[in-house]
Chains A and B, each alone.
Chain A
Amino acid sequence: MPGQEHKPKLLIVGFGMAAGRLLQEVQLLAPGLFDITVIGEEPQAAYNRILLSPLLAGESEASILPLQTSSWYQSNGIDVQTGDPVTDLDVEQRVAHTASGKQYPWDLLVLATGSRAARLPLPGAELSGIVSLRTLDEANEVMARLNNETASDRRAVVVGGGVLGLEAACALQNRGVATTVVHNASWPMNRQLDCEAGEYLAATLAARNIRFISDAQCDHFVATADGARVAALQMGDGETLACDLVIMAVGIIPEVSLARQTKLSVARAINVDGWLRSDVTGVFALGECCEIDGEQFGLVAPIYRQAQVLAEVLQRCATSGAKADVSDIAPYTRQALPTRLKVSGVHVFSAGCLDDVVEPPAHAQRSLAWRDRDNLEYRRLWWQEGRLQAAVMFGEIGDSAIYEQLIEQQVPVQATVRALLTPNALVQP
């Protein structure tokens, strides 16, 4: 075997799910091709952030969270650095500096710095007891707090009725915490669901004794008498929501502070092309910290696809240089982004571009809906010019993969009752 010193150095900054997945793809595609170092800010190696809510709900074990075992990293010769965030990137010299003062040179650099939970800039937002449930540490903190005291008289407020907020709310309610969700739109998951599916979801939350406040205006947080902890959320309409735990789930902000220090082109996130290449040769980005043609990412499916593309690109660069022609590699392309709400017993699915559909539909659009209120079942499909444009399902989502496929592949589909109810006949077995 040729000397190891000849291997190109691949440095991955950030060690979340995108980085974890990229490592897998690289090892699958080109085992031993690189000298790999991955540096993470969190104390753990990459873990499945999606399982934090089930963990909180008591439905998942912490042990299943890690994406890979530590022995996997070892046996693949990957240098794993955790709990030591990179603080500076020298793009000219191709060296990264960490908080602890270490230096890591690279031939190829991948930025996978992810995102931070957004926080509402409300007075009192810095109070203890207000968390975002973005990391395992935060989840552990919440669980520890819940385990220390009896949960039955605890009250929590979740700010934000999106996917993460609702998952967190259900998890808390599952632990016996009286939970209220405050949301600044008219129905929960309003970015993924139409109004009616939102109503079904709200009804389901209500049935689980989760209070849902729509079109909520948060005013400020109220501290306990000693000023140490959050005691309530004061609403704009005068209502005071007493609570001793607040989970902020109002979206994410791409973590691009490192990139901004460099000459890399950064808009809201790091600009990369379909092959995840930044405008600096040999520097790549993927996941929540990047954007492609203005599109940003928050769901796992497109990021996993990016990891697949990037692994191929990296392999090419290793063999043909950082400026290698990659045009024969299929780039990442915009995908329909299906969403499935993963709270046990609540099945919600959404796919396609709901931003583009309106109710009642515009001229070229058509929608068919099935609603069965007694059984809390609802689905609506939108068509445009004989092709499925978007789908929303509530209650029973067994056919969701078919709709996902039909939307993604844009095959012609007639707007029929059968398409709405039994789409399995529409796809090739």
Chain B
Amino acid sequence: MSAVESTCPYCGVGCGVSVDVSDDATQVSVKGDKTHPANAGRLCVKGSALADTLGLQSRLLKPRVDGLQASWDHALSAVSKRLSDTVARYGSESVAFYVSGQLLTEDYYVANKLLKGFIGTANIDTNSRLCMSTAVAAHKRVLGSDTVPGCYEDLELADLLIITGSNMAWTHPVVYQRIVAAKQARPHMKIVVIDPRKTATSELADLHLQLAPGSDIWLFDGLLAWLLDSTAIDARYLNDHTENYSELVKQCRQRDNDISSIAQRCQVDEDELRTFYQWFVRTARTVTVFSQGINQSAHGVDQASLILYCHLVTGRVGKPGASPFSITGQPNAMGGREVGGLANQLAAHMDIDNPAHHALVSEFWQTQKLATTPGLKAVDMFRAVADGKIRFIWIMATNPVVSMPEAELVRNALAGCDHVVVSDCIADTDTTRMADILLPAAAWGEKSGTVTNSERCISRQRGFLPLPGSSRPDWWIISQVAKHLGFEHAFDYQCAADIFREHAALSTYKNGGTRDFDIGALMQLDNAQYDALPPVQWPLTPASTVSSGLAGKARMFADGRFYTPSGRARFLSVAPGSLPQTTDAEFPLWLNTGRIRDQWHTMTRTGLSGKLQKHISEPFVELHPMDLQLRGLHAGDLALISSRHGQCVMRVRDQAGQSPGSVFMPIHWNDTVASNARVDKLVSAICDPISGQPAFKQTPVTVSRLSVKWQAVLVSSRRLTLPSASYWSTRNLDGLYFTTLAGEKNIDAGLLKKLWAEVATSWAEIEDSHQDSLRLIGRNNAGLQIWFALQTTTVPEVDEDWLSASWQQENISMRDLVLGCDAGNQSEAKGTLVCTCMQVYEKTIQQAIASGCTDTAKIGRKTRAGTNCGSCIPELNRLLVSTAAAPAVQCDTSSKIEESLC
């Protein structure tokens, strides 16, 4: 058994994990790394389930060229030949890379270097465009550099914490848990959540401003206007460290931003709004955390700028407990930004249109070909693919067919593209389905390098498993292609550390304090030091020495010096205005998209964990009860959701926390796991004009009931051809596929038996003369293969845990099996799985509450729910409220619950 310290590959919190690996590498367990500054041992449910996702069954393990398995040599030759042929024929601008915040910094660096530096086009963009480019643009505009001024500790130190456009409780659970603990320790700490939805996060709020979709910009403009008239203005700071302040005041005063018009625009209570503004005025230690609700907007850069302005005019930037704080979505969005993964960046936070930077990088890389103009940003890039301007695209570690707005156009664009190369660790994704050449990349647990989290902390991701099949690290794949293209001299890397040293060297090359990103102290690390590198925050100038222990900088700009030409923060014009689209009679509802607690992105990895598939098992659309009633919809119905761009089918959920007139849908489901749930098909590719980030949060849609004749559940030991259905959604629970289906066309047992004849040779079944129900159990020599239940009313019930446990048991009663539960032990329904870590269901928690547990700590002691990652605590709180506490019973009578759980 050996322990390896690494980092979690999911969100931008960048938690450290400690991985125990058995000597034969077959047993892996993952827990939080107590020494990592981001999480100090905590892990959320996704991180806790990492060991479940290491199986090889869905992996891409061999290169494939034009549908045929190929050797690396053949695949690399094919990639480089097609790339160079395309450049020769159509010019370098006809080539593009679309990369990812899932790549490690070293992979990212090499990809950027190859395309911008040696192929000579800046057509490399990253999925961070969909996530962080607004924050990048706002930081650069206002602060002069893409620098997050604060750190996680500031969120704990703040007396007023504003969380805007983030459901952190689900998306960044560990940082959220740090906030929860801080608020418990310092109850006077105030939390304001700004979100059109009631979320798990808003439950912690002292004040939840449930504003109208897309009205954030007005809310912060109103705050700025309010501040300008208040005592909170830090005149000295403004005088010493900012420029253009008088223009800011002038423009702000010209806008219609008095509190009552803001309250009206945002549809929030004026008194509550005043409370928020007053708190902001009064509280020196104020932190504003912003994320996708701000970034994914058509005027995202302006509203992020306004947040920065509110902090600048009060002098609250980069001070302990006082700072704006952009929290990133992906594990290495920051690392990508550092190496220039965006089409308008160069490398090491340098600008492509800055001649001095251009010369510096050309010199450092020893190239004459360095791109001189910004490349195409993600949305434009795929449009150029569709238009035939880009004829070769290489997609790495991301799934744009699912994640891009107007996703169907992206798919069609790839279908029509001459050459599509995809590097991925997963064989079957919506994007790999479009590839001509597939390259098997190393996965988490195998690859090695660095990532940077939301607080500028560089952490090592370390491999602890051998490379399976022919998979290779992304940096190796890219470097090999570079060598095939004739750039051996510039890509002769032996290991990730070689690349990291070069990256560090470039960051400090002719820097001299002119650029924020400087990790010169790390350019001399030898391989062993690199391997042992502890988490450390940049900047780390050469002055910091490795030998005396690395001390990064927790906060930036405390000295009031910014990376603008003048050294002062800049107030540039902002233009609060209406949204580019409006709802109307045809599309009367606002669609908001986001993450759910237990899934990550397009589920290619979290979908492998049975545990994580239980919290929410189907793609859904959430509506306010009033909107349901208006449309004759009920929770559990299937709904057709349409926008100008496409349609989806999802399960309806009743959500009183949803604002009337708006709906929420998760981003995770895709064509490999559901019939029609790629939500980004619906989303308009309208982007912020500066950052190019798409406005995912506000798309006009309409929702109507999808009438079906039947609903069914299929459980099978492998994925089966499905009968014609209006809807299906599948998930893998520890080796069994659970598929929910619904359809309009009658199906009968005969048809299904024929369809699955190769899988099962004998059948047991229930037949209904009215065809209101149908059940089928299919077996072969190896045992149970298929379990199928159909009803014309609701979705058939099945006890998933029982069925999974009974699947291979010899003596199981066939009648129990066909019922899908232990009929002899007809316990009450368990309800939904609330605590994924400890596998505690709703019913158990309600029983604990009824037996006298009056807070989450007591529930935790009794049921163990919420005692690991804590991301279910908001749900526990909701259950505490909703479960009418029954008279308390003696502890000993309820100890049964504990026993049954242990």
Say whether B818 faces chain A, with CB atoms less than 8 Å apart. Answer: yes
Q: Which residue of A lies closest to B773 (CB)?
A: A417
Q: Which residues of B sit under 8 angstroms from A361, Cβ to Cβ?
A: 769
Whether A418 pairs with B819 at a CB distance below 8 angstroms is yes
Per-residue contact bits, chain A 339-380, to B (CB 8 Å; 1 contact, 0 not): 000000000000000000001110001111111111101000
**Given A366-B768, A368-B768, A421–B815 Cβ distance below 8 Å?**
yes
Query: Considering the chains assembled together, what is the distance between the CA atoms of A415 and B791 in angstroms?
Result: 12
Whether A373 pairs with B762 at a CB distance below 8 angstroms is yes
Query: Considering the chains assembled together, what is the distance between the CA atoms of A122 and B570 in angstroms?
Result: 116
**Given A373-B762, A417-B773, A417-B775, A368–B823 Cβ distance below 8 Å?**
no
Whether B773 pairs with A372 at a CB distance below 8 angstroms is no
Whether A373 pairs with B764 at a CB distance below 8 angstroms is yes
Query: Considering the chains assembled together, what is the distance between the CA atoms of A420 and B814 in angstroms?
Result: 13
- Nearest CB in chain B: distance from A44 CB, A: 44
Which single member of A366, A372, A425 contacts B814 (CB below 8 Å)? Answer: A372
Say whether A422 faces chain B, with CB atoms less than 8 Å apart. Answer: yes
- Nearest CB in chain A: distance from B677 CB, A: 29
Q: Which residues of A sit under 8 angstroms from B819, Cβ to Cβ?
A: 417-418, 421-422
Residue of A396, A415, A417 with highest tally of chain B CB at under 10 A: A417
**Given A365-B769, A372-B814, A374-B779, A421–B823 Cβ distance below 8 Å?**
yes
Whether A368 pairs with B764 at a CB distance below 8 angstroms is no
- Nearest CB in chain B: distance from A417 CB, A: 6
Whether B818 pairs with A421 at a CB distance below 8 angstroms is yes
| Count of A-B contacts judged by CB separation below 8 Å | 65
Q: Which residues of A sit under 8 angstroms from B770, Cβ to Cβ?
A: 366, 415
Per-residue contact bits, chain A 370-414, to B (CB 8 Å; 1 contact, 0 not): 111111010000000000000000001000000000000000000
Query: Considering the chains assembled together, what is the distance between the CA atoms of A366 and B777 in angstroms?
Result: 22
Which single member of B767, B769, B789, B826 contacts A371 (CB below 8 Å)? Answer: B767
Q: Which residues of A sit under 8 angstroms from B814, Cβ to Cβ?
A: 372, 375, 377
Q: Which residues of A sit under 8 angstroms from B789, Cβ to Cβ?
A: 417
Q: Which residue of A lies closest to B766 (CB)?
A: A370
Say whether B90 faces chain A, with CB atoms less than 8 Å apart. Answer: no
Residue of B767, B779, B818, B823 with highest tally of chain A CB at under 10 A: B767
Say whether B765 faces chain A, with CB atoms less than 8 Å apart. Answer: yes
Count of interface residues, chain B, beta-carbon cutoff 8 Å: 21
- Nearest CB in chain A: distance from B201 CB, A: 41
Q: Which residues of B sit under 8 angstroms from A415, Cβ to Cβ?
A: 768, 770, 772
Query: Considering the chains assembled together, what is the distance between the CA atoms of A23 and B767 in angstroms?
Result: 48
Whether A367 pairs with B818 at a CB distance below 8 angstroms is no
Query: Considering the chains assembled together, what is the distance between the CA atoms of A377 and B814 in angstroms?
Result: 9
Whether A371 pairs with B823 at a CB distance below 8 angstroms is no
Q: Which residues of B sit under 8 angstroms from A422, Cβ to Cβ?
A: 815, 819, 823, 826
Query: Considering the chains assembled together, what is the distance between the CA atoms of A369 and B763 in angstroms?
Result: 14
Q: Which residue of B lies closest to A367 (CB)?
A: B769
Q: Which residues of A sit under 8 angstroms from B772, Cβ to Cβ?
A: 415
Query: Considering the chains assembled together, what is the distance between the CA atoms of A42 and B443 in angstroms?
Result: 89
Which single member of A365, A368, A416, A425 contacts B767 (CB below 8 Å)? Answer: A368
Per-residue contact bits, chain B 740-771, to A (CB 8 Å; 1 contact, 0 not): 00000000000000000000001111111110
- Nearest CB in chain B: distance from A352 CB, A: 16
Interface residues of B in 54-72 (CB under 8 A from A): none
Query: Considering the chains assembled together, what is the distance between the CA atoms of A369 and B775 in angstroms?
Result: 10
Whether A360 pairs with B769 at a CB distance below 8 angstroms is yes
Query: Considering the chains assembled together, what is the distance between the CA atoms of A416 and B763 in angstroms?
Result: 20
Query: Considering the chains assembled together, what is the distance between the CA atoms of A428 and B764 in angstroms?
Result: 30
Query: Considering the chains assembled together, what is the distance between the CA atoms of A373 and B753 in angstroms?
Result: 14
Q: Which residues of A sit under 8 angstroms from B823, Cβ to Cβ?
A: 418, 421-422
Q: Which residue of B lies closest to A424 (CB)?
A: B823
Q: Which residues of A sit under 8 angstroms from B764, Cβ to Cβ?
A: 370-375, 377
Query: Considering the chains assembled together, what is the distance between the CA atoms of A359 and B763 in angstroms?
Result: 21
- Nearest CB in chain A: distance from B815 CB, A: 5
Q: Which residues of A sit under 8 angstroms from B768, Cβ to Cβ?
A: 366-369, 415
Q: Which residue of B lies closest to A368 (CB)?
A: B768
Interface residues of B in 821-866 (CB under 8 A from A): 823, 826
**Given A421-B815, A422-B823, A368–B762 Cβ distance below 8 Å?**
no
Query: Considering the chains assembled together, what is the distance between the CA atoms of A417 and B766 in angstroms?
Result: 8
- Nearest CB in chain B: distance from A385 CB, A: 13
**Given A361-B769, A368-B768, A375-B814, A425–B826 Cβ distance below 8 Å?**
yes
Q: Which residues of A sit under 8 angstroms from B763, Cβ to Cβ?
A: 373
- Nearest CB in chain A: distance from B812 CB, A: 12
Q: Which residues of B sit under 8 angstroms from A371, Cβ to Cβ?
A: 764-767
Q: Which residue of A lies closest to B763 (CB)?
A: A373
Query: Considering the chains assembled together, what is the distance between the CA atoms of A359 and B823 in angstroms?
Result: 29
Which single member of B762, B765, B769, B818 contacts A366 (CB below 8 Å)? Answer: B769
Interface residues of B in 803-820 (CB under 8 A from A): 814-815, 818-819
Interface residues of A in 36-68 (CB under 8 A from B): none
Q: Which residues of B sit under 8 angstroms from A367, Cβ to Cβ?
A: 768-769
- Nearest CB in chain A: distance from B829 CB, A: 14
Q: Which residues of A sit under 8 angstroms from B815, Cβ to Cβ?
A: 370, 377, 396, 421-422
Query: Considering the chains assembled together, what is the distance between the CA atoms of A370 and B789 in angstroms?
Result: 13
- Nearest CB in chain A: distance from B845 CB, A: 26
Whether B766 pairs with A368 at a CB distance below 8 angstroms is yes
**Given A417-B819, A421-B815, A421-B823, A374–B762 Cβ distance below 8 Å?**
yes
Q: Which residue of B lies closest to A399 (CB)?
A: B815
Q: Which residue of B lies closest to A196 (CB)?
A: B767
Per-residue contact bits, chain A 13-30, to B (CB 8 Å; 1 contact, 0 not): 000000000000000000
Query: Considering the chains assembled together, what is the distance between the CA atoms of A367 and B766 in angstroms?
Result: 10
Residue of B766, B815, B818 with highest tally of chain A CB at under 10 A: B815
Q: Which residue of B lies closest to A374 (CB)?
A: B762
Q: Which residue of A lies closest to B815 (CB)?
A: A421
Interface residues of A in 124-158 (CB under 8 A from B): none
Q: Which residue of A lies closest to B791 (CB)?
A: A417
Which single member of A368, A372, A416 contacts B769 (CB below 8 Å)? Answer: A368
Q: Which residues of B sit under 8 angstroms from A377, Cβ to Cβ?
A: 764, 814-815
Q: Which residues of B sit under 8 angstroms from A374, Cβ to Cβ?
A: 762, 764, 779
Whether A369 pairs with B767 at a CB distance below 8 angstroms is yes
Q: Which residue of A lies closest to B779 (CB)?
A: A374
Query: Considering the chains assembled together, what is the distance between the CA atoms of A293 and B775 in angstroms?
Result: 43
Q: Which residues of A sit under 8 angstroms from B773, Cβ to Cβ?
A: 368, 416-417
- Nearest CB in chain A: distance from B875 CB, A: 30
Q: Which residue of A lies closest to B814 (CB)?
A: A372
- Nearest CB in chain A: distance from B814 CB, A: 5
Q: Which residue of B lies closest to A360 (CB)?
A: B769
Given contacts A359-B769, A366-B768, 17 further A-B pairs with CB under 8 A are A361-B769, A368-B768, A369-B766, A371-B764, A371-B765, A373-B762, A374-B764, A377-B764, A417-B766, A417-B775, A417-B818, A418-B823, A421-B766, A422-B815, A422-B819, A422-B826, A425-B826
Q: List 8 A-B contacts (CB under 8 A).
A: A365-B769, A367-B769, A369-B768, A371-B764, A372-B777, A421-B819, A422-B815, A422-B823
User: What is the interface of chain B, defined by CB distance below 8 A to chain A?
Assistant: 762-770, 772-773, 775, 777, 779, 789, 814-815, 818-819, 823, 826
User: What is the interface of chain A, defined by CB distance below 8 A to chain B?
Assistant: 359-361, 365-375, 377, 396, 415-418, 420-422, 425
